[in-house]
Structure 1
Amino acid sequence: MDPLEGEASSGSVAYEPVSVKDVLVEMKDTAELLIDLSYSAVLHRNEALAREVLRLEERMDVLELRARMSLMMAVRNPDDAEQLAPVLGIVAAAGAISDAAGDIAKIVLEEMGLPEAMRVALPEAAETLVRGVVDADSPYVDRTLQDVDLESKTGVRIIALRRGTEWLLNPGPETTVEPDDVALLRGPVPAVEDVYEALSGCPYEVPSVEGEPIDDLERAVNTIVHMKNLSELAVDLAYSSVLFDSEGLAEEVRNLEVEVDALESRFEAWTLRAATDASDPVVLRGLIRLGSATEVISDAAVDISEGVLRDFDVHPVVRMAVEESDEIITRVEVEAGSDLDGIAIEAGVADAESTMSVIAIRRPEDGWILVGDTDAEIQAGDVLISKGTRTAADAFEALAGA
């Protein structure tokens, strides 16, 4: 039985010897899922997703206490304290992300107020995230994810399963789907509808959208979506900066945090302007909360990478916790006349001798460009944030040099 089961609701957490690495891995995965779930809940007014956020937040509280206890037990001398201090910072930052996600979810659950025009202004998404309960008669029951093979057949991924109080984050090919599992599905909208019905036995109800868009509100919504994407990227880069002890990646986390701060200021201005066109300005309270919580997440990303920026040695337990995948995130600067200078990026992949996926570009005159949102052309001076294998990363860095 999972030693954490039941503790989130009982309020009592006793010390037990646990692997700090395993706890940090789960905290990282939980923080990333919390960001995704909380924004999906609020942008689509989904109370079921919002409640899952609060369940995960309780889980994170227990994980944070476990990690702190284990780290305190590990300190035996000043050298240990110096190495483990940044780890405590990472634990606290994950907790801050969790709290911010909970605040976002409560916008929906406490009916804090969100204007109906917000959903009219919401950008069309290529993918959506939904929650479904596995029906006993579903064709997926008692089959492994490898056997079901959803992603290759439909493009839909099961990003997490909740089985009672137990969470299965990043379920693998050998994970078996069981009746009454709560499944979190992500994928293209038409495909998600079909998979949801096969999984739950109920038709998927597409949220209705009513009302006319308000220009300033549309700008505010587009800005908050961009802030959310930049904050997610900052968290990804922060963990990667710790893994590779990369001051360059840590500096990009700071650059992202500065950008999110600037966007929050614009977001607040557009939200306040939208109040003049709203029949009841009080319904804009939720938007203000959303902007504030998003800024907290980007600040937490800086806290995760703080040890790297302050030139602390990366503790081995942190390196092991983050190094769970062969896929890595890299930062390269494109030199003029290099093989990447002038190359087009389509669907995230540069038209070059490389399999690296470009996630984002920081361009001196334009700021941050999220490649998932648009195709782009690489220019000299661009800083590319990319994801791929270690071998591909080495080759990609060579292509960026003159």
Structure 2
Amino acid sequence: MDPLEGEASSVSVEYEPVSVKDVLVEMKDTAELLIDLSYSAVLHRNADLAQEVLRLEQRMDVLELRARMSLMMAVRNPDDAEELAPVLGIVAATGEISDAAGDIAKIVLEEMGLPDAMRAALPEAAETLVRGVVDSGSAYADRTLVDIDLESETGVRVIALRRGDNWLLNPGPETTVASDDVALLRGPDPAIGKVFEELTGERYETPTIEDPGIEDLERAVDTIIHMKNLSELAVDLAYSSVLFDSAQLAEEVRNLEIEVDALQSRFEAWTLRAAADAEDPVVLRGLIRLGTSTEVISDAAIDISEGVLREIDVHPVVQLAVQESDELITRVEIEPGSELDGTAITNGVPDVESTMSVIAIRRPDEGWLLVADADASLRGGDVLISKGTRTAAAAFEELAQA
């Protein structure tokens, strides 16, 4: 048994007055980081990243307990119970995402096996996520992120820091990178190696990949990569549907879950066919675990947005979280003949006067297109999932109208 697995049960969690809103926000941020880390650990076969997933999973267990305690203390009458029931559902679903991420990480830690085609399927332009310990002699040590200006100089971002048992999620410009911090970095592959070496004082090595050339296996891997991307989007939309009480976004979560279920069926068929041609079918065990866990994440997204789908009023603790955020995710359907109809879109940015960034497109006859995967031209009938400020979102919706 991994040493981390035995620690969770020994942690004592006592009730203490905390903001439910703050706990929910931290759970959301932790869940999103868990998904990111777990898949990166598998795709790059990185045991250090997988260990960080298990540490975060333990942190999520504590957050889940604290959230449940606070919600139980907040119920005073039947009306409170009705409003808080969906929030309790969010807490439970977030815990399911955490457990699924832990199962994905164990593919690496238990050496369950995963075909090299898994990494071969990664897009060449995809960003890489790495883990490194900040060396005391690093030029980045004991400086703030704004002082280092890492992202502007290299395109590499510090997405999280772990200082002992404490996590700093979404570090801001004034966050200090301290010696011995565990830093999680994301950025373009050509740049991240140099940053990693400067940060840690260690050499960065990219693993070599051999493609076995099994056609059904390549199809299975392509499918699981698409399932991963759609599940991540579903979780993002699910939280947004709750935060902004948006029935439209909740409905898109349901559409995504249906698509992931369909992909899961195809994935299972291609994996079984690939087993007949694989030199060692046992290496497909990890791929099967990955498919199962990915579907769990997709199902959890539906559970998060269930209250919105059932038209239950958003509880005030959730509304407080919305009021602090100026950025939101929106759903817009393009009307034929509108200014957006026929507009080119590059790297998520449509060729119009707008600061909105398009995350995904759902086409009635073609399904989902994740804009990060390819450039595209918008069409009448497209449903766009976009991110931006409230002001920009209102103007963007007008551009979609004929």
2:196 matched to which residue of 1?
A: 196
Q: Which runs of 5+ in 2 are unaligned?
A: 1-6
Give 1:12 deviation, angstroms: 1.4
Per-residue CA deviation, residues 1-47 of structure 1 (Å, 9 max, x unaligned), is: xxxxxx95732111111111111111000000000000000111110
The letter for the 1-side match of 2:278 is A
Give 1:121 deviation, angstroms: 3.7
SS of the residue 2:276 aligns to: coil
CA distance in 2, matches of 1:331, 1:324: 21
1:169 matched to which residue of 2?
A: 169
2:332 matched to which residue of 1?
A: 332
CA distance in 2, matches of 1:210, 1:334: 43
Q: Which runs of 5+ in 1 are unaligned?
A: 1-6
1:382 matched to which residue of 2?
A: 382
CA distance in 2, matches of 1:389, 1:183: 29
- 8 Å CA contact retained: 2:138, 2:201: yes
TM-score normalised by structure 2 residue count: 0.96
Distance 1:355 1:121, change over 3 A: closer
2:240 matched to which residue of 1?
A: 240
1:157-306 aligned at under 5 Å gives the runs 157-306=157-306
CA distance in 1, matches of 2:192, 2:177: 17
2:16 matched to which residue of 1?
A: 16
SS of the residue 2:335 aligns to: coil
1:3 matched to which residue of 2?
A: none
Distance 1:185 1:68, change over 3 A: same
Per-residue CA deviation, residues 334-369 of structure 1 (Å, 9 max, x unaligned), is: 001111011110111111121111110000000000
CA distance in 2, matches of 1:212, 1:122: 15
SS of the residue 2:245 aligns to: coil
CA distance in 2, matches of 1:254, 1:330: 15
Identity, % of aligned positions = 81
Comparing 81-90 with 204-213, greater Cα deviation is found at 204-213
Give 1:112 deviation, angstroms: 1.2
- 8 Å CA contact retained: 1:9, 1:58: no
CA distance in 2, matches of 1:141, 1:119: 32
SS of the residue 1:130 aligns to: strand
Give 1:323 deviation, angstroms: 5.2
- 8 Å CA contact retained: 2:244, 2:322: no
Task: Find out whether 1:81 has 2:81 as its counterpart.
Answer: yes
- 8 Å CA contact retained: 2:364, 2:382: yes
1:104 matched to which residue of 2?
A: 104
Give 1:316 deviation, angstroms: 1.3
1:398 matched to which residue of 2?
A: 398
The letter for the 2-side match of 1:171 is P
The letter for the 1-side match of 2:129 is L
CA distance in 1, matches of 2:283, 2:323: 43
Q: What is the aligned residue count?
A: 396
The letter for the 1-side match of 2:234 is A
1:328-367 aligned at under 5 Å gives the runs 328-367=328-367
1:137-156 aligned at under 5 Å gives the runs 137-156=137-156
CA distance in 1, matches of 2:96, 2:322: 18
1:12-51 aligned at under 5 Å gives the runs 12-51=12-51
The letter for the 2-side match of 1:57 is E
Distance 1:94 1:280, change over 3 A: same
- 8 Å CA contact retained: 2:336, 2:381: yes
